[in-house]
Amino acid sequence: MESLLAASSSLPAAAFSPALLSPPSSSPHILRTVTGAAGAAARAVRCAAAKDSILYALEHDEMFNSAEVIQWESGKSINSIAAAQGIRIRRRCRPRYPSEGSGADKAVPRNILEQIIWDKEVEVSQRKTKKTLQNVIESSEHAPPARDFIGALTAAHGRNGVPALIAEVKKASPSRGVLREDFNPVEIAHAYEKNGAACLSILTDEKHFQGSFENLETVRNSGVKCPLLCKEFVIDIWQIYYARSKGADAILLIAAVLPDLDIKYMLRICKNLGMTALIEVHDERELDRVLKIDGVQLIGINNRSLETFKVDTSNTKILLQKRGDIIKEKGILVVGESGLFTPDDVAYVQNAGVSAILVGESLVKQEDPGKAIAGLYGKQLLC
């Protein structure tokens, strides 16, 4: 929410185009006081009389006037607002890496995702001092047009009669350590594409997954034709623009991390950039939140528990039994995530109702990740 307010002076006007905004009131001059939840001094925001100005548009945007923003302005903390939506990942705990230091300076995360998010806050803050939001917005404008991520999944699903594959280029994970020592992202990406992957997922987190935005950019420039998902732990719109500037066609948004307002705002940014947002959920409450948000096209159901990190593929079946009809009515595609290693696993989530699967570990650990795709499906995929 702070990101939405702070970014207003840097965002292009398209982000607040009339077609996306609520009708403005008759008042030509607005004076509004905005206060941060952490006790920051009040800031006055004066909107110009010109009705095409970004600040005027913000003042009359339903997003800017949402319940979450009003609560934040009233002094309620971001963590409190998020907790009311069932979000258990706390935010803004330390100005430096929380895992460093000792005693009272060392924060203790509740789970690995919270640890990753705390570290990501520090990383993004540091990156923004080197390259501002305006810089990455300008860079994103020079990127080639985004490729049709959902179109590629739909075509592959129809072509093969099985869930389309988003194959993940992944060197390591917090739970498994290094998955592949001889890691060459370009070779792996081309092997995946050659063997029928519809899209590719590129890990960009450095601290916990040994990925990078450089890997994303290198794969994009290597001649791979598959649309690319930037597998990043997004907490700030800066990351979305930066991913687009590096060649991403889609981005991951995690409902366990992002309040509803952030998801809505980031969906708007993605739409303006021509990108697809894969919104990941873990449980029924997160799924219900996401289904109430307009503009969602792609939902990923992660079978890995945030609390225990254990995997149970029945999570996909249970959630789709409960909410499958609503998902179909909305025309949303579902991606199955985690715990998929065999043809039986793929068949199980396919019967549950998924149109695509996202798989990394079971492929990248094999001697030939590309050929491992046939083993995963029990047959060769048509390209």
pLDDT in tens, 329-348: 999 999 999 999 999 999 99
Annotated active-site residue in 160, 272, 338, 355: 338
Annotated active-site residue in 280, 315, 355, 362: 280
Q: Which amino acid is at 214?
A: E
Is residue 135 among the annotated active site residues?
no
Cα 225 from chain centroid (whole Å): 21
The answer to whether residues 199 and 230 touch, using CB atoms and an 8 Å cutoff, is no
The answer to whether residues 263 and 237 touch, using CB atoms and an 8 Å cutoff, is no
Q: How far is CA 237 from CA 33, 42, 116, 192, in A?
A: 23, 23, 17, 29
Annotated active-site residue in 302, 303, 355, 362: 302
| Residue matched to tokens 């607002």 | 81
Name the nearest CA neighbour of 119 among 97, 95, 93.
97
Annotated active-site residue in 120, 231, 246, 317: 231
Would you state the pLDDT for residue 62? 78
Name the nearest CA neighbour of 310 among 282, 330, 281.
282
- E strands present in 11-153: 30-34, 43-47
Annotated active-site residue in 121, 168, 193, 232: 168
What's the sign of the alpha-carbon dihedral 73, 75, 79, 81?
A: negative
Annotated active-site residue in 68, 120, 160, 170: 170
DSSP assigned state of 21:
S
Annotated active-site residue in 59, 114, 232, 337: 337
Would you state the pLDDT for residue 110? 85
Is residue 106 among the annotated active site residues?
no
DSSP assigned state of 50:
-
Give 288's strand partners.
none
The answer to whether residues 4 and 10 touch, using CB atoms and an 8 Å cutoff, is no
Is residue 302 among the annotated active site residues?
yes
Is residue 231 among the annotated active site residues?
yes
Query: Which of the two residues, 28 and 99, has the higher pLDDT score?
Result: 99
**CB atoms near residue 126 (< 10 Å):** 11
Would you state the pLDDT for residue 2? 54
| pLDDT tens, residue by residue, 33-91 | 344 433 343 333 433 435 554 555 556 677 877 888 888 878 888 889 999 999 989 98
**What does the mean pLDDT of the chain come to?**
86
Would you state the pLDDT for residue 111? 87
Q: What is the mean pLDDT of residues 232-255?
A: 98
Would you state the pLDDT for residue 69? 81
Q: How far is CA 137 from CA 134, 148, 349, in A?
A: 5, 21, 38
Q: How far is CA 329 from CA 56, 151, 161, 255, 352, in A?
A: 36, 19, 21, 21, 16
Tell me how far apart the alpha carbons of residues 24 and 230 are, in angstroms, rounded to a whole number.
36
- HSE, CB side, 13 Å, CA atoms: give it for residue 283: 10
Would you state the pLDDT for residue 58? 57
pTM, rounded to two decimals: 0.86
Is residue 280 among the annotated active site residues?
yes
Tell me how far apart the alpha carbons of residues 244 and 141 are, in angstroms, rounded to a whole number.
9
Tell me how far apart the alpha carbons of residues 286 and 300 are, in angstroms, rounded to a whole number.
11
Would you state the pLDDT for residue 330? 98
Q: Which amino acid is at 141?
A: E
